[in-house]
Structures are given as C-alpha cells and as structure tokens.
Amino acid sequence: MTQIKEFNEYRERMNEVILAQKNKSLTRFFSLDHQTYSEGALSVKTKELLGLVASMVLRCDDCIKYHLGTAHEVGGNNRRDL
C-alpha cells in the first residue's frame, strides 16, 4: 500500500509542477483528459478500464499503475468488469 501512496503523491506533485508552468498546450491536454474520463455515454468505470487496457497495450508502467488504481477507486475491481 505504501508504494501506491508514494506513486499517487509523486504524480500529484508533478502535475502541480507541470500546471504551474502555465503552458497553454499542457493545460488544454489536462482539461481534455479530465473531460474524457468524466461520466458520459460510457461510465467512468468503463472508461478507466479502457484506459487500463490501452496502457497495457502500450506497456506504460506508470499509466498502468494510474489506471489500475483509478479503476479500483471507481468500482472496477469486480471480476465481472474484466
């Protein structure tokens, strides 16, 4: 559990550093990402599970960690979801 907490804290700190740069492109990307994973035609849980699959295909360990944790938070930890 400590590893997950450390990862989330690090990610949060780095996001703050990135957003503090006031880079228009990065700010827009963060906004788009936030909007993408909001409730819509697909549930947040479905979107997170799709994000997890895409991350696994791309073999991005940090992305996998992020989407795995977020999918768990939104209830994607049921075997029927997989």
Which of 82, 62, 74, 78 shows the shortest CA–CA distance to 4?
A: 62
Question: Residue 1: pLDDT band by 50, 70, 90 thresholds?
Answer: low
Using one digit for the tens of pLDDT, what is the confidence trace for 33-68? 889 989 999 999 999 999 999 999 999 998 998 888
Q: What is the pLDDT of residue 73?
A: 86
Angle at the Cα of 51 (from 49 to 52), degrees rounded to 5? Answer: 65
Residue ranges of the domains in the chain? Answer: 1-36, 39-82
Q: Which CATH architecture describes the domain 39-82?
A: Up-down Bundle (1.20)
Q: Does the pLDDT at position 23 exceed 60?
A: yes
Instruction: Look up residue 72 and give its two tokens.
Output: 């768990």
